[in-house]
Chains A and B, each alone.
Chain A
Amino acid sequence: MTDREIITLIDTTLVNEFELNMADMAAEASLKDDLGLDSLDRVDMVIVLEKAFGFKMGEEEAIKAIRTLGDIHAFVINKKQLMQ
C-alpha cells in the first residue's frame, strides 16, 4: 500500500464515518476547529481506523498528540512502515 493509498483510505474512512466533505480533507485541517471532531469523535476515529488498517492504535500515547488530519496521515504511514 503506497502512502497516497493510505491517505486516501484514511480520508474516505473519516468522511464516511463523520459525514464530512471530502473537500475539507486537507492535511493542515485541524480535527477540532476545521472538521469539528471532539474527544468523543476521537474514540470513534480510532475504531474505524483500526478496522480499516487492521492494527491496534487506541493504547498509543502518540494518538493524544494528534491535532491535524496530516498528523493522522503521518501516524498511520509510520505505523504501517514499522509493521513491515
Chain B
Amino acid sequence: MTHQSAVFDKKRNPLQAAGSFLVVVVMNLVMFPLIVLMTVMGIVLFPICFISGKIATGWQNDRVMRYFVWVYGRAWMIIMSPFVRFKRTGLTRGSIDMPCIIVINHLSFFDTYCMALLPISDIAFAVRSWPFKKLFWYRPFMRLANYLDLEAIGWEGTLRDSRRVFERKGAILVFPEGHRSGDGKVQRFYSGPFRLAIETGVPIVPLCITGTDVLLPPHRWWMMPATVCLSALAPVDPREFMGDGETAHINLRKHVRKIIAEQVEKMRKEAL
C-alpha cells in the first residue's frame, strides 16, 4: 500500500481517516501560503543578502546565487518539516567529489527544492526552457546562478558553460528523464549528461529520490504528508566507457539508468 492510498484507505477506522483528511487539509491551507510568503520575503531580502554574501565570501556572482538557492531549499525543508520527513543516505559532508555531474530521477516539482539535502551548494541546474519562461519569479535568480537552458544554448553552449562550471570545481545537476514520472518508475534517459561526461571525463554521481511523488506528484495541485528519501550511489567514472567509441555515451546512459532504477525500486520497497 502506498503512503497516498493509506491516508484515504476506506478500511481504516473512520476516526483515523477523518484525522488524516484533516491533516491534509491543514497542510495545504498552511504550507502553500507559507511557501509563497517565504519566497516573497526571499525576493525582498535578496539584494542585501546577496551583497553581504559577496563581500563576506569574495565568490563570483553565480556562486553566491547558487549558495542562496541552497539556503532557500533549506528554508523550504524547515517549513515543510511538520508534514514531511527528510532522510538521506550516502550524503555526508565531503562525500561528493567535485567537479561532478549529478543525475537524479524526477518525480515532482519539489525535487529541485530537495536538492538542499545535498552537502554541496555550488550546483548549476541544467534544465529545459520552460522554467525560464514560466517560473518568472525565479527567472532572474536562475540567470544570475548561470543555470543552463539546454534547449536555448544547444550542445555547443552546454559543453562551453559546463566546462566553466567544472573549471571552478562546481557541479552540474540534470534530471535525465527530462520530465516528471507519472507512475514513479524511472523513464527513458536523455543522452546529454552522459555525452557531457564522456567529452569532459567528469564523473557522474547518480542520485535517487523517492517520496516527493507522494508529497506532490504531477497533475495534482494539493500536497500530502510524505517521507522523502535521497540516496547517493557511488560515482561512475566515464573513462570506463570511453573505449566503446561512438556508443560510449549510450552504454554509460544505460548503466546509470539501470543502477538508479534498481535503487529507486529498493527504496520504494523499504518505504512500504
Show the binding face of A for B, using Cβ within 8 Å. 16-19, 38-41, 43-44, 46-47, 51, 58
State in angstroms the CA–CA spacing of A38 and B128 once bound together.
11
| CB < 8 Å neighbour of A47 from B150, B155, B250 | B155
Q: Is the CB of A43 within 8 A of B192?
A: yes
- Chain B interfacial residues counted at CB < 8 A: 16
Q: Is the CB of A51 within 8 A of B246?
A: yes
1/0 per residue B177-195: CB within 8 Å of A?
A: 0100000000010111001
Q: Is the CB of A40 within 8 A of B190?
A: yes
Could you list 23 A-B pairs, sorted by A, with CB under 8 Å? A16-B250, A17-B191, A19-B188, A38-B178, A39-B128, A39-B129, A39-B151, A40-B128, A40-B150, A40-B151, A40-B178, A40-B190, A41-B190, A43-B151, A43-B154, A43-B155, A44-B192, A46-B154, A46-B155, A47-B191, A51-B246, A58-B154, A58-B155
Show the binding face of B for A, using Cβ within 8 Å. 128-129, 150-151, 154-156, 178, 188, 190-192, 195, 246-247, 250
| Known A39-B128, A43-B150; contact A58-B156, beta-carbon cutoff 8 A | yes
Secondary structure class of chain B's binding surface, majority of residues: helix
The 9 tightest CB contacts between A and B, nearest first, are A44-B191, A47-B155, A40-B178, A40-B190, A39-B151, A58-B154, A43-B155, A43-B154, A44-B190
Give every chain B residue within 8 A of A17 (Cβ-Cβ). 191, 250
Residue of B nearest to A44 (CB): B191
Residue of B nearest to A13 (CB): B246
Residue of B nearest to A58 (CB): B154
Q: Nearest Cβ in chain A — how far from B203, in angstroms?
A: 21
Give every chain B residue within 8 A of A40 (Cβ-Cβ). 128, 150-151, 178, 190, 192
Instruction: Using A39-B151, A51-B246 as known contacts, list a sample of 15 further A-B pairs with CB atoms less than 8 Å apart, ordered by residue number in A.
Output: A16-B247, A16-B250, A17-B191, A17-B250, A18-B188, A39-B129, A40-B178, A41-B190, A43-B151, A43-B154, A44-B192, A44-B195, A46-B154, A47-B191, A58-B155
Residue of B nearest to A41 (CB): B190
State in angstroms the CA–CA spacing of A68 and B69 once bound together.
40
State in angstroms the CA–CA spacing of A43 and B152 once bound together.
10
Residue of B nearest to A51 (CB): B246
